[in-house]
Amino acid sequence: MNLLAKAASGARLSADEATALYHLPLFELAAAAHAVRSQRTDPEVVSYLIDRNINYSNVCTVGCAFCGFYRTRRQADAYVLSYEEVSAKVLELEAVGGTRILMQGGVHPTLPFSWYTGLLEHLKQRHPRIRLEAFSPEEIRGMAKLTGMPSLEVLKALQAAGLDGLPGGGGEMLVDEVRHARHISPARISAGDWIRIMDEAQSLGLYTTATMVIGFGETHAQRVASMQRVRDQQDKALASYGNGFSAFISWTLQTEGVRVHGKVPGAGAHEYLQNLAVSRLFLDNIPNFQASWPTMGHKVAQTALFFGANDYGSTMLEENVVSQAGAKHRRVNEREIIRQITEAGFRPVQRDSLYNVVRVPDAAAILAQKPEVDFGALEAAF
């Protein structure tokens, strides 16, 4: 059996075999990835989520060179949202049928731990039906340093206050030679600590996702090494806890207007689609792969549905991080996502963050309605 046939069969690949996939013709690679996607998920369906990203603060001490969002405490536009301001954003999400908030900020040097637990308790009391997925491993490490508590105890306290899941932010490239390069993010959480904190979250039954960003100048072998860390952790989590990463989400580094601009090559649509296909074929223990319309745009995201992705992501009523580094596709409404999925030839279903179907929309009826003007999308276009 040749490599492409083995990959298309769904058999487990070695790291060397996965690295060799990058040298195969792109659309042959796509066919193999789509075949495996069709084996592991409903081949006719593409899911999506109605949610909102909330950035409770932009104050951060890590200072990644590829981040245009963070501020120091002394900058004039540094902020920390009040509980009431966060709650108002959740109310807007509830009004459009949303089911989850993805809440992240920077690593704040002075916010007391009680502020975080108090925020979760405040939101759970006022919005009991909204899942609270918040605080990347980087933020958890920051809270552990601030409090002197082990990260596992930090997670237990946050879970008791209402935390439902830990997003995969800060994964980027799980190879320290890449992530800790002086011109990228020398103070970033290590790959080992990222995996360790995710393992602790999974041991508590918290929802987790894995992420990957390409374009730092990493090699194909380093990309596969990053995926290997994820696959190994998924094997362990499934065997030990019965749960693990619910999805794998990848995108390309956004470099416009940030300090890393000109120091790294970035990555385009070809590399994004190629890497997505390889990840679908190599990460045989993760069921769901998400297309990235915010960074790649809708046409590439539609194409991604034939390169291994089975999910279109979310409406993302608010996005403040990758847009600060040049991503121009900031938000869409549900109708637009349904249109994109339908035009690609799939049946759209609304899911929750656990990938349970919560609604099968009448796509024809929704698309027949006169569209509302999406001023966020219009603004992003100019």
The verdict on whether residue 60 carries a ligand-binding annotation is yes
For residues 34 and 56, what is the distance between their CA atoms, to the nearest angstrom?
38
Alpha carbon dihedral 96, 297, 309, 205, in 10-degree steps, equals -50
The verdict on whether residue 353 carries a ligand-binding annotation is no
Token code pair at residue 261: 């601009």
Measured CA angle at 253 (ends 339, 334), to 5 deg: 20
The backbone torsions φ and ψ at residue 47, rounded to the nearest 5 degrees and listed phi first, read -95, 165
Which of 289, 308, 301 is closest to 340 using CA atoms?
301
For residues 288 and 207, what is the distance between their CA atoms, to the nearest angstrom?
14
Q: Provide the edge-to-edge strand list for the sheet that holds 45-49.
A: 51-55, 100-104, 131-134, 165-166, 207-214, 245-252, 288-290, 311-314, 45-49, 347-351, 357-359
Contact predicate 65/15, CB 8 Å:
no
Token code pair at residue 90: 């959740």
- 55: which strand partners? 104
The verdict on whether residue 84 carries a ligand-binding annotation is no
The verdict on whether residue 271 carries a ligand-binding annotation is no
The verdict on whether residue 203 carries a ligand-binding annotation is no
The verdict on whether residue 135 carries a ligand-binding annotation is no
DSSP per residue, 218-276 = --HHHHHHHHHHHHHHHHHHHHHHS--EEEEEEEEPP-TTSTTTTTS----HHHHHHHH
The verdict on whether residue 172 carries a ligand-binding annotation is yes
Query: Which residues does 23 contact at the CB level (< 8 Å), separation at least 6?
Result: none
The verdict on whether residue 136 carries a ligand-binding annotation is yes
Q: Which residues are annotated as a binding site for S-adenosyl-L-methionine?
A: 66, 172
Q: Which residues are annotated as a binding site for [4Fe-4S] cluster?
A: 60, 64, 67
Q: Which residues are annotated as a binding site for (3R)-3-methyl-D-ornithine?
A: 136, 292, 314
Q: Which residues are annotated as a binding site?
A: 60, 64, 66-67, 136, 172, 292, 314
